[in-house]
């Protein structure tokens, strides 16, 4: 999808969501008389699910199946070393409306790297993704959340951290991970998971069901920016995007 079309679609989506979320009276005026029973309207609060370290064929495919069944879009911060052999999986992510971001080529801690190594980790992955998926403003999630002045000035991407971290790698306990997310998520949160573990996929889908039943709508990180009227800036760190 071309950048301009994508931006236009984001704008339309954001406008529609804002109208529905913040102006229920207006929405009531325009509600079709014969709205299908049980149709769910997009409404706040909003959260963004993000997945690092993939893609991985079995687990990421199963996650995409579950998200598709639920009509949920999320954000994948992928590793360059995971791209080869998973090209179709990455195309599927993009085709199904998920956002794809960068998690570096080799999962190195960027904070200790000089300019050439930093470029090899970030710019090379950007080139790989651009060749596969087309030019986009690929956001960056630095491994371990480690950021330095060099990263801020050279990465040429918004730096996306997180505000809810169930530490899904620590015990692979899907029920605990899902409960942590459902209990802690607030409007505007960015939730950190890893799509390389079966338990994390189970937890993600359970948390989606739990939060949707509490009225939450899941959006990609860039959709969350658009909803909040915030333009992502290169080199700036974002942990969550609450409503103002």
Q: Which residues bind Ni ion (CB under 5 A)?
A: 52-53, 143
CB of 52 or CB of 168, closer to Ni ion = 52
Residue 53 CB, shortest distance to Ni ion, in Å, is 5
Q: Is there a catalytic annotation at residue 103? A: no
First to last CA, the chain: 31
* Nearest distance in Å: CB 141, Ni ion: 7
- Comparison of 44 and 55: residue with beta carbon closer to Ni ion: 55
Count CA within 13 A, CB hemisphere, residue 66.
19
Secondary structure class of 111 (helix, strand, coil): helix
Give least dist CB 165 to Ni ion, A: 12
- Judged by beta carbon, residue 19 or residue 237, the one nearer Ni ion is 237
Nearer to Ni ion, 50 or 220 (CB): 50
Residue 101 DSSP code: E
Taking the complex as a whole, the smallest distance from the CB of residue 109 to Ni ion amounts, in Å, to: 10
Instruction: Find the residue with minimal CB distance to Ni ion.
Output: 52
In angstroms, give the least distance from the CB of 145 to Ni ion. 9
> How do 75-78 and 99-102 pair as beta strands?
parallel
3-state secondary structure 137-154: CCCECCHHHCCCHHHHHH
From 52, 168, 189, 202, active-site residue: 52
How does strand 190-194 pair with strand 159-160? unpaired
Of the pair 53, 223, the CB lying nearest Ni ion is at 53
Tell me the C-alpha distance between 110 and 115, whole Å: 10
Q: What is the 3-state secondary structure (H, E, C) of 24-58?
A: HHHHHHHCCCCCCCCCCCCCCCEEEEEEECCCCHH
Q: Contact 217/75 with Cβ under 8 angstroms?
A: no
| 123 catalytic residue (yes or no) | no
Identified catalytic residue from 98, 103, 194, 195: 194
Q: Pull the structure tokens for residue 26.
A: 């207006």
Catalytic residue set: 52, 194
């Amino acid at each position: 999808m071309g950048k301009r079309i994508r931006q236009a679609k984001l704008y339309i989506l954001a406008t529609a969501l804002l109208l529905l979320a913040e102006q229920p009276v207006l929405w009531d005026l325009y509600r079709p008389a014969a709205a299908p029973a049980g149709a769910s309207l997009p409404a706040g609060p909003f959260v963004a699910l993000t997945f690092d370290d993939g893609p991985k064929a079995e687990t990421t495919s199963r996650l995409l199946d579950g998200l598709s069944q639920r009509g949920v879009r999320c954000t994948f911060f992928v590793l360059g070393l995971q791209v080869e052999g998973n090209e179709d999986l990455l195309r599927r992510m993009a085709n199904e409306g998920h956002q794809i971001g960068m998690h570096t080529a080799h999962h190195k801690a960027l904070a200790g790297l000089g300019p050439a190594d930093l470029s090899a980790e970030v710019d090379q992955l950007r080139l790989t993704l651009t060749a596969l998926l087309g030019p986009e403003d690929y956001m960056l999630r630095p491994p371990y959340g480690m950021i330095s002045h060099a990263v801020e000035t050279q990465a040429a991407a918004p730096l996306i951290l997180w505000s809810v971290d169930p530490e899904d790698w620590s015990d692979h306990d899907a029920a605990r991970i899902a409960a942590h997310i459902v209990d802690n998520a607030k409007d505007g949160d960015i939730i950190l998971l890893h799509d390389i573990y079966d338990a994390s996929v189970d937890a993600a889908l359970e948390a989606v069901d739990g939060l949707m039943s509490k009225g939450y709508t899941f959006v990609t990180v860039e959709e969350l920016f658009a909803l909040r009227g915030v333009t992502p800036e290169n080199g700036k760190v974002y942990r969550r995007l609450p409503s103002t």
